[in-house]
Amino acid sequence: MTTPDAAGPSGAIEAARAWLAQDPDTETRAELQSLITAAEGGDAAASADLVDRFGSRLAFGTAGLRGALGAGSNRMNRVLVAQAAAGFAAYLRERPEAAEQPSVVIGYDARKNSHVFARDSAEIFAGAGLRAILLPQMLPTPVLAFAVRHLAADAGVMVTASHNPPEDNGYKVYLGGADEGTQIVAPADAAIAAQIDHVARTQRVDALPRSEDYEVAPQSVLDAYVAASAAVAPAPSAADALRWVYTPLHGVGWHTLERVLDAAGYPHPTLVDEQAAPDGSFPTVAFPNPEEPGAMDLAFATARRAGAQFVLANDPDADRLAVAIPDSGHAADGGWRRLTGNEVGLLLGWWAARRARSAGAGEGATLACSLVSSPGLEAVAHRYGLVFRETLTGFKWISRAPGIVYGFEEALGYLVDPGSVRDKDGVSAAVAVLAIAADAHARGSTLRDELERFGDEFGHYASTQVSVRVTDLGIIAQTMARLRSAPPAAWGGVAVAQADDLLHPTDGGASGDVLRYRLEDGSRVIVRPSGTEPKLKVYIDARGDTAADAAARVVRLEDAARALVA
């Protein structure tokens, strides 16, 4: 079927009617019929809403699909998901390396419609002749990534919007085989998108072949993930003395983490009861992202009552991990401070390097992070004789680093068990943090002390990010062009030792629309356009003799960044 042109109100109404005719969801059908009736009656707001819903299509890219729930081609709904599943099935069948019957594993979290979208996908995959395997219950994203490898599947789909607002959902795609259960990258994303667009143009969703002859994965898949995650760091005896608080932020992390703790021998945390059960409406937080202000307030309050030593939090699909420690200097947060992703990433990188050396890691063992994450990981790699690799942003690139034994990105993502999961994993990362905390406790130390130890060993690193939002995207292009044509000789009074334009890398490394400046004092400034928002982003990392020195250097560079980019 050809989708009508929805460039204007009349076209949007026509497109909405065509959509309505194939929509299997009673809720979105009613929503759409109400808008059509209002628009035909002259309601300007309804007409504008239809143009927004049908004037474009939610784009499929390397992050799959993600957007607000609702009727229309520019929303997440059963029609769009069915088209995505059918297009992905066609892609898997037509790959040169395709098996006679390609297999795909489907997982889902607790968000609204996640189970519905997962079941629709399983039926469409099965109807297309694929071996479709639906995970047995709502589970964290890393369990799906694990299952792709564990079951030797050709692909995986996770229905989740991770830490997006409550009204969103998404469709995340993984490839098995030579891709080893990693997220898709180019050119697979474009090839899948082309197949999805073909389905949307030529087929009605209600005419797509479906079958209920799909499998439900056995609980042994989850058992295997639990065993692998527990083996990351079995609890030492000192772990019994740990007092900690945990919140899954209304997501799916706790059920799996609880089993991992029991298998590894760690004590249970004090739960944030109000956020312990999966709830896709996220009733206690405005934004279910532990990085957002206020998201961990209930955890901090619980920690004060419990006399906790630290707090751990997963985002709703448990692929990210936040860590917080007591800090009297943060009165606004009740005396608690959430560590930055770089701080946690460096502690875990140090732990992983020691672990790799003790295990006799061979030549080529690699620590990897995205190019906007702390350069402190490179210092760790060099100290332990490991390879360091810097990648483009996103775990779709980090997880592909050859020889990887550990990877992280500053946005609270950590890969500590690449032999099992080739994606960020907030559950196994939590186990590793518990191991670090237990080891510190045995020495009469704390996580805060471990950060100081790291600084004494490798230098004190501090980081921040400056985001400049624009209304005219041309300003971003102009700023990048200006910085390229007249590179700054200094940032914040510190001379630039090396300037790299990653559009044309000279070292064979990561390539992208990124400018990187290495300063003479060991600091670094990176400038790049946001890939998802109308923002220019500046990432600042400073190295100092003390934590206070590093923080002061960051402030000076931050002021310089605002002035240069403005």
Give the 3-state secondary structure of 306-332.
Answer: HCCCEEEEECCCCCCEEEEEECCCCHH
Annotate 427-456 with DSSP letters as a single string. HHHHHHHHHHHHHHHHTT--HHHHHHHHHH
Tokens 């069915």 belong to residue: 82
Q: Give the C-alpha separation, 566 to 379, whole Å.
A: 33
324 CB neighbour count, 10 Å cutoff = 23
Coil, helix or strand at residue 536: strand
Hey, what are 48's tokens? 């504008």
Q: Give the catalytic positions in this structure.
A: 162
Sheet holding 336-338, edge to edge: 270-271, 244-247, 310-314, 321-326, 336-338
Hey, what are 148's tokens? 């792709």
Coil, helix or strand at residue 518: strand
Consecutive H or E run containing 357: helix 341-358
Q: What amino acid is encoded at 512 in this protein?
A: G
Give yes or no for a contact between 219 and 136, defined as CB atoms under 8 angstroms apart: yes
**Given its phi and psi angles, is residue 385 left (phi above 0), alpha (psi -120 to 50 degrees) or beta?**
left
Hey, what are 371's tokens? 């190019």
Nearest Cα to Cα of residue 184 among 196, 174, 194, 170: 174
Q: Give the C-alpha separation, 288 to 296, whole Å.
A: 9
In degrees rounded to 5, what are phi and psi of residue 286? -75, -30
Annotate 238-298 with DSSP letters as a single string. GGGG--EEEE-TTSSHHHHHHHHHHHHTPPPPEE-GGG-S--TT-TT-SS--TTSTTTTHH
In degrees rounded to 5, what are phi and psi of residue 555? -60, -45
Tokens 């209600």 belong to residue: 206
Coil, helix or strand at residue 469: strand
Hey, what are 335's tokens? 């005396």
Q: Give the C-alpha separation, 313 to 320, whole Å.
A: 8
Sheet holding 387-391, edge to edge: 387-391, 366-370, 404-409, 413-415
